Amino acid sequence: MVRRAGVLILFALSVSALSWGAQSGQAALQSYFVGRQVRLKIDMPGTAKGVDLRVDAGDPMDWKQYSARLKEAGPAIRSGDRSTVTTLMVKKNLIEFQLDGGGFGTFWDDTNTTVTPYRVGQSEYERQLERDIRNTSDENRRRALQRDLDRERSRREREQAADNRAAQIASQMKAQQVADKRMRGGSRFNLRWAGNIPADQLTPEALMKALDTYIDFGDLQAEKPILSPSPTPARQDAAAPGNAPASHGSRSPMTQLKRGMLIGEVSALMGLGQRTSQSVSEEGLKTQIFEYLPDDYRVEVTYVDGVVVRYSINSR
């Protein structure tokens, strides 16, 4: 019993030491990296799955898996882009090196792109007509009731079709919103070891070496963390010579453009645009792409049944 107790104590102490080592290593790595900017050497997939690296393997990258994630989610950070290290987590055999938010698709992110239409059920009037038809033996009355029933069913079917169409448009809009969030959600590297992370790998130098193929760290020691508070710029005196007062009443048409607007509302903002393409889906939804040229900008707007589902703004 004494020997067994001694073994248990040694095991508990070793686990505690490993846990303390991971925590202290995480604190040191977070202090060094979090809030600083790096430049990517590869495209990063727009998903919280990120890029997996088997650090102790011959080639850490599973290129087939990497390509599949890029194809599935698209790139959130492009090769050559600068990105901010937002989180760094150390676990038993894993280091999560998160960039610009760590990637879309975490527990809190809504990844569902389907909007279910409301089911229009039978009205009490329709059910009463069906009961009256079953209970009458008068053929003339039966025909009159059937005509009323057909009209009520047609009304319900029209209402259901309108709800189905609205749900299809909403689903397209939500799919675009999810795609936009993927592009803004960042990504991450998951550095994995077969066993516990060796203690000599929990240093900034070792981590930069492991990621050197994929990230240009530059001279981090000479850079200031960009998440540090910056002084508030002095407010310009609106009455000073050469400073024209800001006009808060005027707003650019581009700042007012948003999803869900109708084509007429967009035309009122930016004038009549030029239609560049049009198509009709199997469900009967008409998709149109219009180009607008307000001021020195080119605005491309995609409509589904006359409702804005996506747009892009570029300078000319």
**CA atoms of 108 and 305, how far apart (whole Å):** 31
Q: Mention every residue, 6+ apart, whose C-beta is less than 8 A from residue 193.
A: 55, 56, 93, 94, 201
**CA atoms of 200 and 79, how far apart (whole Å):** 29
State the CATH architecture for 253-315: 2-Layer Sandwich (3.30)
**CA atoms of 266 and 270, how far apart (whole Å):** 6
Torsion 220-26-192-43 (CA) sign:
negative
**CA atoms of 222 and 126, how far apart (whole Å):** 76
Backbone angles phi, psi at 201, to 5 degrees: -95, -5
Q: Mention every residue, 6+ apart, whose C-beta is less than 8 A from residue 203.
A: 25, 28, 29
**CA atoms of 175 and 156, how far apart (whole Å):** 28
Q: What is the pLDDT of residue 228?
A: 43
* 8 A C-beta contact, residue 74 and residue 176: no
Residue 313's CB: how many other CB atoms inside 10 A? 16
The residue extents of the domains of the chain are 11-104+185-222, 124-180, 253-315
Residues of the chain with pLDDT under 70: 1-24, 107, 220-251, 283
The model's pTM: 0.56
Q: Which amino acid is at 35?
A: G
Q: How many CA atoms are closer than 13 Å to the CA of 252, on its beta-carbon side?
A: 9
Q: What is the pLDDT of residue 26?
A: 85
Rg, the chain, Cα only: 30
Pair type for strands 44-45 and 75-77:
antiparallel
* 8 A C-beta contact, residue 95 and residue 89: yes
* 8 A C-beta contact, residue 37 and residue 84: yes
Q: What is the pLDDT of residue 23?
A: 67
Q: What is the pLDDT of residue 220?
A: 65
Q: pLDDT, tens digit, for every residue of 165-205?
A: 888 888 888 887 777 777 788 999 999 999 999 999 999 99
